[in-house]
Each structure stands twice: as C-alpha cells, then as structure tokens.
Amino acid sequence: MTQVSQDTSEPTLPKWLKLTDEGVTVTLKYKTVISGVQTDALTMRAPSMLDWRASKAAGNGDFEKQELSLFSSLVGLTEAELLTLKYKDYNRLSAGYFRLVEEDDV
C-alpha cells in the first residue's frame, strides 16, 4: 500500500517578499530614488474595493493605466515614480500584489 502525504505547510515566500496582515514589503533588486531618497524596499498596503474602483475609473478601459493607478495608490508613489522602477522590481511589486489578493486557503 502506498502512503500519500499531503503538504499542508504555507507556501514559501521569496526572501525579497515579507507578508503582514496589512500588506507586503518588497525588497528591490535595484535601489531607486523616490522623492530624493534612495530606497531598497517598498511597502504595499492591501487594496480596498474603493482603491480598485478608483483605479478602474482612472484606467478608462486601459488595463495598464488601471494597474499603474492602483499600484501607485497602494505604494504611495506617483505613477511617474513607479515608472522609474526597473522591470524586475515592478514584477516583484506585482507578485506582492497578487499575494495580497489571493485566497490564503487555495
């Protein structure tokens, strides 16, 4: 008889992502200057429905604009500041966002 074990442990998060009850902190691969201050990490709060609706209105049917609006609001950056991130770091923010909105028990 074969024994099947089920892994019930939490999925391992990458070392650059720290999850809290309020949001995520993403350690950047490339330091960036935000408002004249060099930073190596950004914190993104969990989105509310109001955040999502506001970004949808701002995007006006343009998904990229909607995502930029939402992420800039959740991180507290202007869209121009968000666009200065390296693509790899933007992808890290995106991974953090999706970790915030996924169901924990799926």
Residue 97 near residue 44, CB atoms below 8 Å? yes
Residue 72 near residue 64, CB atoms below 8 Å? no
Q: Please state, rounded to an integer, the average pLDDT across all residues of the chain.
A: 90
In a domain, 70, yes or no: yes
Q: What residue numbers bound the domain in which 34 lies?
A: 17-101
In a domain, 78, yes or no: yes
In a domain, 46, yes or no: yes
**pLDDT digit string (tens) for 61-92?**
999 999 999 999 999 999 999 999 999 999 99
pLDDT the model gives residue 102: 86
In a domain, 9, yes or no: no
Q: What's this model's pTM, rounded to 2 decimal places?
A: 0.82
Total domains in the chain come to: 1
In a domain, 7, yes or no: no
In a domain, 1, yes or no: no
In a domain, 33, yes or no: yes
In a domain, 5, yes or no: no
Cα separation, 61 vs 34, in Å, equals: 28
